[in-house]
Structure formats: C-alpha cells, structure tokens
Structure 1
Amino acid sequence: MRRTLKTLSVLLTYPSAELQAAVPEMQAALDADGVLTRGARDGVGRILHEIATGDLYDVQERYVLLFDRTRSLSLHLFEHVHGESRDRGQAMVDLVQLYETHGLALGTSELPDFIPLFLEFLSAIPEADARRTLADTVHILAALRQRLEKRDSAYAGVFAALEDLSAGKPDVETLDALLAGPDDDPNDLAALDAAWMDEEVKFGPGADSAACGTEGIASKIRAARRPAPGVVVPGPQRPVVTHTPSTRI
C-alpha cells in the first residue's frame, strides 16, 4: 500500500514534465501493490493517461483552475471543516503532533494538512494505521470526489481510490453538510474573489460544530495521536517527512 499512497500523493501535485515522464513508473507501482479494486485502479488510470498524453500547459491550467482557483476543491483538509476559524490553527498543531507521535518530523514549508503531504505521511506508517487515519478524513475525500465528478474531472479517480483504501465510510449527514456549502466556478472571477475574502473568526466552544458534524476531524486526530498505554513516544531524533516535486515511488 505504501507505493499506492505515494503515487496518489504525487498525482495531486502540480503537473510537470518530470511527472509526465514518471507515469509508467507510477502505473507499475500501482500494479505491484495490487491494493486497489479494479474500479479504483481504472479511475486512477484515467488521470495517469491524461497527464501522460496531454499537452503539459493544458494539464497545468486544468490543475490550477481546479485546485488553486476553486476553494471548494482545496487540497487542504481543514479548509473544508474549519475555513479560516480559530479552530483551524489548533487542528494544524494536532496534525503535526500526530506526525511526531509516529516518529516523523515535518520537513517542509507546506501546511501539514496539504493532502499530498498527508498521503506521504500515511505511506510512511504501518498500513493498518494508515487506513484508520485516512478514515478520519473520508467525508472530505468523498466530497472532493463528488465535486470533481460533477466537473467530469479525471482527478475524481484519485479520491475514489483513497476512499477505497480507507478503513471507513463517510457519514451521510456530515458529507451532506459539506456538499451543501458553496461550490465555486473557477471561471467566475467575481465569485472567487468573494469566496476567498477573509471570514469572521469565531471564538468559543462549538464554533465550528456545524461544519464538522458531531465529531470534528480535530478531535479524531487528537484521539489518533494518543500513544497506547506503555508505548514510549519517540525522542527528538526522527526521520523527516518532506513534500518535494520528486516523482520517485
């Protein structure tokens, strides 16, 4: 599963000539792992084909329109449950501590909830832990998949594959709440400007309860990072999790 998570991580990064050249290696990694269902493998195959055969500038433009100019498709997990609220900062801290609990130090300037970075982290921990941690975000992944499917984007296959690997299924009520939010049109520049305006910062307990459902992702991450009784938390000498343009699987 490690190579599959690494491949999916790379596929969600900004397309480059190096990424196009690495498509055969990524296909081989998915085939060697063999952890995806046939349907999920076919879905990932679609985006691999688009990247490999498309004009690089067109592929890059589509990526920017989707993930950089569309807030509802943000590749930052906490954007979808916390927005710009104060709880987002605490959730970031909790996620970094989760990384450190597994003996991994963050070695990048990217925010810890950036999905490609999050997937690299999952690829470095035991498979059972990776599936459980992925399940904490499955409602976000499902919302992203559905929004991408609505746009007939091949990137939907990446999120379908992540759902396939997850140890859980999205809660219907929480997923519906996410999908009920605004879904930006990347070609509507006026609407995009309005969507990216600073939001009111909310204070006090439960400020984001409506966005996060009855059990927010921050609380799930806090629970996930607690060491089991008798387990010693690793010391300061840790391997480093980095997010780089490298396409080595």
Structure 2
Amino acid sequence: MNDSKPNQPIAYTLRVLSALLRYPDAAFRAAVPEMQEALDREAALHLDRVLELHALLRRLQQDDPFNTEAEFVEMFDRGRSTSLHLFEHVHGDSRDRGQAMVDLTQTYERAGLLLDTSELPDHLPVVLEYASTQPPQAAREFLAEFAHILRGIFSALRRRNSGYASVLAALLELAGEQAEAVELPPEPALDDSWAEPEPFSGCSSPGQSRPADVQPVHIIRKQPSTASGASA
C-alpha cells in the first residue's frame, strides 16, 4: 500500500497515468521523457511502481508504433473486462449508466470544468484529468469511490499479463488501496459480448433489471368510435 501523506501532491502523477491510458500516438511518444521526469519529481508513488511505469513508458516510446498502437486497441477497445469506460462495468448498457454519466458531468461542471463533446465523462483518462485538478486529499477520496472498478480492470490486465496493469496498480495505491487481483468471471467471446439482443427476447444487456425474464406484450383491441353527430 502507498504510504505517502494524504496531502502530498499527486496532480502530475495523475496526468501521466491519464496519458498512459490514451492512444499511444506520436505526440505521446515525444512526451515520454517529460512524463518520466514528472513521476520522479513528484515522487507520489513507491520507487518500485515508478520504475515499472518508467519501463512501460520506455517500451511504448521505443517499440514499433504499429505494434504498440495495435496492442492498445486490442487491450482496451475489444472486450468489456478491460474497458476504460468505468460505468460500463457497473451499469452495462442500461439507462442507469446514462444518469450516472449526467451526474458525473455535473460534478465536473461544479468544479468549473466543461467536458469536450468528443469525450465521455466516465472514460478513465477524463476521470483522472478531473482528479488532477482537485486538492490531493479530495483527489484520493474521489479515486477511492471507483476502487472496486479499478481493481476489476487491474485484475483483467494482470490476467492478460499486460504492462498496463502497473497503471491501474498505481491508481489503486493513490486511492489508499492495495493492488490485489480478484477473481473474475470468464470473459465472453467478443462476438457474444457485443451481439445485438434477439427481438422480443427480453433485456439481455448486463446491468438491465431481470435480464433473463420474458417481457410480456399486452395487445389491447382498439374500440370502435362511438362519437355522435358525424356527418352522413
């Protein structure tokens, strides 16, 4: 567990972790030395964790860009267990997710931050950028609210032996939690997890109420008009 003081600055570390969870394009690779310096200067994480993040940054900078970019897409855009959209892990595609995102957007707005229209509020890099604008203790408490989701993503990344697991481990430690893997159910095949539900088969999306129940359809016969005074 991270033993840093609650009020120790963590803003730059959060921004580096946010950048690590975005698409590793040319701009990202050019900024790697600056990000490594920020991690060292702020020293918000244990040295062993910082060294892991240094190694990940160095690999993403030096490896073939095509491979690192393809790895990112495969890791975070294909499959639910490693999705970086946090409320997807809790609400699936249910209407509750929409309300949760409205509430989170309002949290940002109360802090004077307007979300870019191309971003979703529950995207983890966005969440971390917001947290980086808050006082250290408030940022840690905000991260702790998502700790159960972060632990699930961390566990899924560990299961895949991904270096990105170090990023989630760092976030858990900043939230005052231990980076411990938990058991996860087997992830469905990609085609199954993104398949459209069959018509009239009930709700089948994770997060919906009574997803396996048959939804009855009540057909009411239209009554003939009894209006008087109609012209012949």
Q: TM-score, normalised by structure 1?
A: 0.72
The structure, 1 or 2, with the larger RCO (C-alpha pairs under 8 Å, 6+ apart) is 1
Q: CA deviation at 1:3?
A: 0.7
1:120 is aligned to 2:118: no
Aligned pair partner of 1:84 in 87, 93, 99: 93
- Listed as ranges, the matches of 1:102-181 within 5 Å are 102-168=111-177, 179-181=183-185
Q: Does 1:195 align with 2:175?
A: no
1:18 partnered with 2:22? no
User: Structure 2 regions of 5+ residues with no counterpart?
Assistant: 1-9, 198-202, 211-232
The answer as to whether partners of 2:155 and 2:184 remain within 8 angstroms in 1 is: no
**1:195 Cα deviation from its structure 2 partner:** 0.5
How do residues 92-107 of structure 1 correspond to structure 2 at under 5 angstroms?
Answer: 92-107=101-116
3-state SS, counterpart of residue 81 of structure 2:
helix
- 8 Å contact from structure 2 (residues 152, 184) kept in 1: no
Query: CA offsets per residue over residues 89-140 of structure 1, 9 Å max, x none?
Result: 1111111111122222222321100001111111111111110000011111
**What RMSD, in angstroms, separates the aligned Cα atoms of the two structures?**
2.3
Aligned mates of 2:48, 2:124 — CA distance in 1: 22
- Aligned mates of 1:108, 1:39 — CA distance in 2: 37
Amino acid in structure 2 at the alignment position of 1:192: L
Structure 1 residue ranges, 4+ long, deviating more than 4 angstroms after superposition: none
Cα–Cα, structure 1 residues 147 and 180, in superposed 2: closer, same or farther, change >3 Å?
closer
- In structure 1, which of residues 66, 84, 92 is the aligned counterpart of residue 75 of structure 2? 66
The normalised TM-score by structure 2 is: 0.77
2:213 is matched with: none
Q: CA deviation at 1:42?
A: 2.2
Paired residues, what number? 195
Residue identity in the other structure for 1:157? S
2:58 corresponds to: 49
Task: Give SS of 2:151's match.
Answer: helix
What is the aligned partner in structure 2 of residue 233 from structure 1? Answer: none
Q: For residues 124 and 171 of structure 2, what CA distance do their matches in structure 1 show?
A: 11
Residues 201 and 98 from structure 1, CA distance in 2 versus in 1: closer, same or farther, beyond 3 angstroms? farther
Maintained 8 Å contact 1:85/1:201: no
More helix by share: 1
Distance 2:41 2:174 in 1: 16
**In the TM superposition, what whole-angstrom CA distance separates every residue of 1:46-81 from its partner, at most 9, and x where no partner exists?**
311210111000000110110011221101001111
Q: Distance in 1 between matches of 2:104 and 2:196?
A: 23
Identity within the alignment, %: 45
Q: Which moved more, 1:90-99 or 1:193-202?
A: 193-202
1:185-243 deviation per Cα after TM superposition (whole angstroms, max 9, x unaligned): xxxxxx212101246278xxx949xxxxxxxxxxxxxxxxxxxxxxxxxxxxxxxxxxx
